[in-house]
Amino acid sequence: MDFQHTEDRRMLADTLNRFLAEQYGFDTRDTIARSTAGFSADMWRRFAELGVIGALFDEADGGFGGAGFDVAVVFEALGRALVIEPFLDTLIVGRALAHAGSEAQRARIASFIDGTQIAALAHDEPGSHYEDARVTTRAEKDGAGWVLRGAKGVVQHAEHADVLLVSARTAFDNPGGEFDEAGISLFLVPREAAGVSVRGYRRIDGGRAGEVTLDNVKLGADALVGAQGSGFATLEHARGYGLLALAAEALGAMDVARDFTLEYLRTRKQFGVAIGSFQALQHRMADLLLEIEQARSAVINAAAAIGAPRAQRERAVSAAKYTIGRIGARVAEEAIQLHGGIGMTWELPLSHYAKRLVMIDHQLGDEDHHLARYIAFARVAA
């Protein structure tokens, strides 16, 4: 397998990394993260103008990339800068529409790519504990349309999203009940629709999210994405890209935490010498570097398998998510410990990278969830 990026991907990575270094420094990022909006609409438009959002989608949907390695290149760069603009949900919602949407729904992807609309995924529910198929939100027929009732939790950028991709159960007598994969449907819901309410809050790692309540939300027939009851397969397909993106983002953050720590070990002196000369610390750092390279391999494997058949694809993305969850927590802990007390301070960027690495583990399922998921798909393949 050739692990070298194409010239176009290298140019994309160079352009994005240079833009982030010049325009998205830590102070800028910190100001955006603390803002009332939780992201910068101006910066989002500038990302769109650079073509960064378009790199996440296929040419058929108005993009110019869309392969697994395109997604990985973009999110690895975003992870290095701790970018908090709504890339992840844009990718997941756009991929869901590309996979199963009608012609009109697929046309909406163009508004995501040019930055004029923001999309958010509203799937997780209070108490779901990462169970992908646990959906209690109900969608019932209302003439030719639908009525939605339920609640969704931790919806990223919910307050400022133009449209929500909502999962709801349209079949209620399946043997698996609220955990059954069958009977789940997806709906595009305007955030301003009557009956949609959002309670926003600040995220611990920067930016904002919200709890969404759906109280007798009436939708037309054209709100249904794909066939009725077949939403789980579409959601799983789209979330696979999200898992790859999170793994690549974590890898970028790990690389920066590593560089910060190496620099600190070279410059911090104790007993008249740099602490990096102490053998015990050298051994700890060497172990950490090996772990990061293992995480890099897992991301490469997931990027290569994102277009593979279901079992192979889901094994690869769950393996990557498990790996970055475990290694990301270790990188965060070791980097802070090797920095000593200063590693915990708000003013030091490292503490924010450590926080983001820990929180990535909890997005779209933590390491325990994905270890169990990997084992389940391995048994299917066997």
Q: How far is CA 8 from CA 4, 65, 90, in A?
A: 11, 9, 22
Give the residues across from 209 on adjacent strands: 156, 201
Is the pLDDT confidence value at 84 over 70?
yes
Distance CA 311, CA 147 (A): 34
Is the per-residue pLDDT at 374 higher than 90? yes
Q: How far is CA 182 from the centre of its chain?
A: 25
Angle at 296 between CA 4 and CA 74, to 5 degrees: 65
Extract the tokens encoding 144.
Answer: 């030719």
pLDDT at 71: 97
pLDDT at 363: 96
pLDDT in tens, 192-232: 999 999 999 999 998 999 999 999 999 999 999 999 999 99
**Range scoring the smallest mean pLDDT among 30-34, 269-273, 291-295:** 269-273
Please check whether residue 115 is in contact with residue 40, taking contact to mean a CB–CB distance below 8 angstroms. Answer: no
Query: Does 2 score more than 90 pLDDT?
Result: no
Domain 7-118 and domain 233-381, same fold? Reply is no
Tens of pLDDT, residues 151-167: 999 999 999 999 999 99
Residue 70 has pLDDT above 70, yes or no: yes
Q: What is the mean pLDDT of the chain?
A: 94
Contact 92, 239 (CB under 8 A): yes
Q: Please tell me the distance from the alpha carbon of residue 113 to that of residue 44, in angstroms, as a whole number.
A: 10
Q: What is the pLDDT of residue 87?
A: 98
pLDDT band (50, 70, 90) for residue 1: low
Three-class DSSP labels, the chain: CCCCCCHHHHHHHHHHHHHHHHHCCHHHHHHHHHCCCCCCHHHHHHHHHHCCCHHHCCHHHCCCCCCHHHHHHHHHHHHHHCCCCCHHHHHHHHHHHHHHCCHHHHHCHHHHHCCCCCEEEECCCCCCCCCCCCCCCEEEEECCEEEEEEEEEEEECHHHCCEEEEEEECCCCCCCHHHCCCCEEEEEEECCCCCEEEEEEECCCCCEEEEEEEEEEEECHHHEECCCCEHHHHHHHHHHHHHHHHHHHHHHHHHHHHHHHHHHHHHCEECCEEHHHCHHHHHHHHHHHHHHHHHHHHHHHHHHHCCCCHHHHHHHHHHHHHHHHHHHHHHHHHHHHHHHHHHHCCCCHHHHHHHHHHHHCCCCCCHHHHHHHHHHHHHHHC
Q: How far apart are CA 276 and CA 193, in angstroms?
A: 58
User: Looking at residues 263-270, what average pLDDT do you find?
Assistant: 90
Task: Give the whole-number percent of the chain exceeding pLDDT 70.
Answer: 98
pLDDT in tens, 104-134: 999 999 999 999 999 999 999 998 889 999 9
- What is the structure's pLDDT at 127? 85
Res. 380: pLDDT tops 90: no
Whole-prediction pTM: 0.96
The domain 7-118: what is its CATH number? 1.10.540.10
Model confidence pLDDT, tens digit, residues 14-23: 999 999 999 9
User: The CATH number of 233-381 is which of 1.10.150.20, 3.30.450.40, 1.20.140.10, 3.40.50.2300?
Assistant: 1.20.140.10
Chain-centroid distance of CA 220 in Å reads 29
Query: CA–CA distance from 98 to each of 53, 101, 228 (Å)?
Result: 15, 6, 17
Using alpha carbons only, what angle is made at residue 272 by residues 268 and 278, rounded to the nearest 5 degrees?
65
Between 48-62, 95-109, 223-237, 335-349, the lowest mean confidence (pLDDT) is in 335-349
Residue type, 66: G
Is residue 3 predicted with pLDDT exceeding 70?
A: no
Mean pLDDT of 308-318: 96
Q: What is the pLDDT of residues 319-339, one digit of tens each?
A: 999 999 999 999 999 999 999
Per-residue CA distances from 213 to 126, 167, 196, 245 (Å): 11, 13, 6, 27
> In angstroms, how far is the first alpha carbon of the chain from the final one?
24
Q: Is the pLDDT of residue 182 over 70?
A: yes
Ranges of each domain in the chain: 7-118, 120-229, 233-381
Q: What is the pLDDT of residue 109?
A: 98
- Contact between 32 and 40 under an 8 Å Cβ cutoff? The reply is yes
Task: Classify residue 49 by burial, with Cβ atoms within 10 Å: 0-12, 13-18, 19+.
Answer: exposed
CATH of 120-229, one of 2.40.110.10, 2.40.128.20, 3.40.50.300, 3.40.50.720: 2.40.110.10
Pairing status of strand 119-122 against strand 196-202:
unpaired
